[in-house]
């Protein structure tokens, strides 16, 4: 099996990679791109200053505004009129300025000629003065409105060297990067453990559960998702434990139900062989017992198979519309034989005739199973009461017995397919799986069902056939 990298290692590597990326970005922006960014920002600010001066040119207080801009922005300013005479000038750079002083006359004159010949009326120059070892930026533009030229504006600002600052920043960034990497590794190790340890713990618990340990405890972690996973697995464990217990009960109950008819089949077959083989009356009686037990055995096997089909979804309801009152009267009439033979009394209270839409064969089986269950558990009076109630939400069918009733804590389990009541007795009719089949059929139809019971008075099983 391929060994894949663990969650803890993945998280640790992810945090370390994130720290490295942050460090690289810091070096990129603070060292590699700093000088270019500084120059671009300085030039952009100088051009914005020129735009503000052009807008203020010729207004009252321009001279004071010029002075404030020059000193606040550390920009040398030279404004010439159309006759190339100085109209305004401000020098804040002294010997470093390229616009002022006799030694810069030729430089200024050459830039003025370029500006006058430029079709856009704007020049930008990045000039390195070898004598002072300084980069400066010169911006020139024409003054005036439209095609009328009223003068020429020149701005000169120093582009301070950033090499020394960059060298200092390199050393600082080196220390910061090393510190970041150490902190990143520590945080990555802590967070990876914090995130992965609860999952690893739950995985180990899941392995124990997979091997049949239903007492496994699933502990959550320090965050919501792991807590939800632990709760979900705990619930799954409870359900698996319950299913395992019910399967054991099923095996025990089915074994008991199969053992009785099989034992009787064997016993009566031996009696025919050894005792009643030559006695027609006894032989026929023994053969009838064998036939009855064989029928009972076949019913039990069929019920188990039918229940399995209903639960795995291989059986779908054949929806038809029919009169439920007529169908129930027909069902009750079939119980006359058992009433006459064994003394049971089936009382039916119908409501107004009404049509319903459902699978008639399956719903008939539900009603019969509920009646059979009532016959098995009714009291000594042997009365069973069946009632039809037409309600706004549908037709409610109730089957009531007069038996011992069901304890309140047992009612929730009475329909479980593997549950057997502690008061269980051998069935007069049926196989003992009737309520499980009832539950499966009603769930398939999405019909509501339930049971209410009072100890010492009996139980009422009911379901509602919804209006279509």
> pLDDT higher for 394 or 132?
394
Mean pLDDT of 210-227: 76
Stronger pLDDT, 263 or 450, i.e. the higher one: 450
Look over the chain and give the mean of its residue pLDDT values, rounded to a whole number.
80
53, 66 Cβ separation under 8 angstroms = yes
132 pLDDT tier (thresholds 50, 70, 90):
low
Most confident of 91-100, 137-146, 156-165, 458-467: 458-467
Structure confidence by residue, pLDDT tens digits, 145-154:
767 888 888 9
Numbers of helices and strands, H then E, in the chain: 12, 12
pLDDT at 431: 62
Q: Which of 150 and 252 is assigned the larger pLDDT?
A: 150
Q: 425 pLDDT band (50/70/90 cuts)?
A: low
**H-run or E-run covering 459:** strand 458-466
- Reading the block at residue 126, the tokens are 């990045």
Which residues on adjacent β-strands are paired with residue 346? 384
In contact, 132 and 160? CB cutoff 8 Å: no
Of residues 291 and 430, more confidently modeled: 291
Distance CA 289, CA 131 (A): 129
Q: What is the pTM of this model?
A: 0.47
Q: How confident is the model at residue 238 (pLDDT cuts 50, 70, 90)?
A: confident
* CB neighbour burial string for 380-395, b if at least 16 within 10 angstroms, e if fewer: eebbbbbbbebeeebb
Condensed to tens digits (0 to 9), the pLDDT of residues 65-95 reads 888 988 888 888 888 888 888 888 888 877 6
Q: Which of 202-206, 258-262, 330-334, 433-437 has the highest mean pLDDT?
A: 330-334
pLDDT digits (tens, 9 = 90+) for 8-21: 777 777 777 887 88
């Amino acid at each position: 099996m391929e060994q894949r990298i663990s969650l803890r290692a993945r998280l640790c590597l992810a945090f370390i990679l994130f720290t490295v990326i942050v460090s690289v970005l810091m070096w990129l922006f603070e060292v590699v791109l700093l000088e270019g960014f500084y120059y671009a920002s300085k030039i952009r600010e100088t051009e914005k200053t020129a735009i503000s001066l052009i807008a203020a040119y010729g207004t009252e207080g321009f001279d004071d505004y010029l002075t404030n801009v020059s000193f606040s922005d550390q920009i040398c300013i030279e404004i010439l009129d159309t006759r190339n005479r100085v109209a305004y000038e401000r020098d804040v750079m002294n010997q470093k300025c390229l616009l002022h002083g006799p030694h810069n006359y030729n430089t200024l004159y050459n830039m003025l000629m370029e500006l006058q010949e430029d079709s856009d009326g704007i020049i930008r120059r990045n000039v390195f003065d070898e004598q002072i070892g300084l980069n400066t930026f010169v911006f020139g533009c024409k003054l005036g409105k439209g095609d009328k030229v009223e003068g020429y504006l020149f701005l000169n600002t120093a582009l301070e060297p950033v090499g020394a600052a960059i060298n200092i920043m390199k050393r600082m960034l080196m220390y910061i990067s090393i510190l970041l990497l150490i902190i990143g590794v520590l945080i990555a190790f802590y967070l990876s453990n914090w995130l992965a340890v609860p999952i690893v713990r739950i995985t180990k618990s899941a392995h124990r559960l997979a091997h049949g340990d239903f007492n496994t405890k699933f502990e959550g972690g320090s965050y919501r998702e792991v807590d939800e996973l632990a709760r979900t697995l705990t619930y799954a464990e409870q359900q698996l434990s319950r299913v395992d217990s019910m399967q054991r009960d099923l095996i025990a109950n089915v074994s008991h139900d199969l053992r009785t008819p099989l034992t009787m089949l064997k016993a009566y077959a031996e009696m025919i062989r050894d005792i009643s083989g030559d006695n027609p009356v006894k032989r026929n009686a023994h053969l009838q017992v064998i036939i009855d037990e064989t029928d009972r055995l076949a019913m039990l096997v069929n019920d188990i198979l039918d229940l399995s089909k209903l639960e795995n979804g291989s059986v779908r309801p054949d929806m038809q519309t029919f009169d439920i009152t007529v169908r129930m009267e027909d069902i009750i009439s079939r119980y006359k034989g058992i009433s006459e033979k064994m003394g049971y009394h089936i009382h039916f209270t119908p409501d107004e005739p009404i049509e319903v839409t459902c699978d008639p064969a399956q719903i008939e089986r539900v009603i019969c199973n509920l009646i059979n269950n009532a016959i098995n558990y009714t009291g000594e009076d042997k009365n069973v009461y069946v009632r039809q109630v037409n309600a706004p939400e549908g037709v409610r069918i109730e089957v009531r017995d007069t038996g011992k009733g069901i304890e309140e804590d047992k009612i929730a389990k009475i329909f479980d397919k593997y549950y057997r009541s502690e008061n269980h007795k051998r069935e007069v009719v049926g196989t003992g799986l009737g309520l499980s089949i009832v539950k499966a059929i009603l769930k398939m139809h999405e019909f509501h069902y339930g049971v209410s019971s009072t100890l010492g008075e009996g139980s009422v099983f009911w379901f509602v056939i919804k209006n279509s």
